[in-house]
Structure 1
Amino acid sequence: MSQPPAPEPIVIAVPKGRILSEALPLLAAAGIVPEPAFGDENSRALRFRTGDPGIELIRVRAFDVATFVAHGAAQLGIVGSDVLAEFDYPELYAPVDLDIGHCRLSVAEPAELAARDDPRGWSHVRVATKYPHVTAQHFARRGVQAECIKLNGAMELAPTLGLAARIVDLVSSGRTLKENGLVEVEPIMAVSARLVVNRAAMKTRAHVFPLVEAFRTAVGKKAA
């Protein structure tokens, strides 16, 4: 009698960039050890095996993690709460704050403008950001009309080139802002990385829930 086909592996989407190095110890603590090529910065591969044949990793842009998981191409993912707020996918469940990737989403403007500016007096702002949804919501709550110009990078150039007087972007140390003559003038939200799960996969894939619990345990041990 022929054996039933092996189930498709669980796919976990992880972000390229700053969160990845912080996520690796958590993955290991949850029992997920990527193949050696995963740590090769020169590798162009995007899909990787792990020590568990039932789990694979994909490495994608941070903004794309939520999309891969929401549409079921991956069952779990690691993504910043800023991305979750921007896309607000109903298909996503975010059960675990991973306590990594800490930063904040803030409004910034040129230092010379900030010296004579008072955010409490704003009625209309023109803002360059890759977070138009979150930005518009933030200013709407304050009764400020926001014209959002969508950019995917090099946000700090917008004020110096006259594209927009202000930007909304992630801020960690503030070094990038300072080197480009900008200052943080108003925080919007604190940001950390979350474990996200496709809601349908949570109900239909037997191995998803144990993985969620493994991440929860790993975070608890890290905090202890």
Structure 2
Amino acid sequence: MSSFVTVGRKIVAIGRNYRDHALELGNKIPTAPFFFLKPTSSYVTPPNPIEIPGGCTVHHEVELGVVIGKDGRNIAASQAWDYVSGYTLALDLTARNMQDDAKKKGLPWSASKGFDTFTPIGAFLEKSSIPDPHQVRLWCDVDGTSRQDGWTSDMMFQIPQLIEHVSSIMALQTGDLLLTGTPKGVGPIGVGQTIRAGLGFKSPDGKYQDLSTMEFPVIAKPGNFYYRGS
């Protein structure tokens, strides 16, 4: 499903799936999975740039993306892997000040998560290329300084449980992307910076290898949008 960026109908993003990330933002630890939606128009691929909207404090969140390979509803966790086509490296970008204002008012996060270029995405990875998606390293650096470096083994809710939960609410369709949460270390990116991210794992002989990396320049969003707060 290498064409998921163009054929997928939605991006389903799991929130607060890493305990330390939830705590670093002062959020409560969830007792069950929860998610929000991002538009597929937010995809951006290298070497295209990430755009920072005026007045927004934008944070990076590196994630393992799960690409759905066939349509399904009410998928049992025991059958979830049958619906996985592969994986991808992703960044879930957040206009944090917009999100904080929305949370205070009890409003949706759609605007803070849905700007154009707010889902930078890497290459499609066949399911067979990752022996265990719960033993994957995710890292992110900005201008060469490490920001995030964690392992998917720290997920509170694993991929089969996430697929079961989401598909009990809405159908998962071919090409959809499931973002599985981010480890601690999220932080701001600004115009003129370069963000790099990677995904990898240890081989049976104990050697680490990056399976996917991506790099994006950061520029100002064109147009007349400027967020002035609430």
Instruction: Quickly name the TM-score band, shorter chain normalised.
Output: under 0.3
Rg (Cα) greater in structure? 1
Q: TM-score, normalised by structure 1?
A: 0.22
Q: TM-score, normalised by structure 2?
A: 0.21
The structure with the largest helix share of the pair is 1
The structure with the largest strand share of the pair is 2
Q: Which has the higher contact order (CA 8 A, sep 6+)?
A: 2
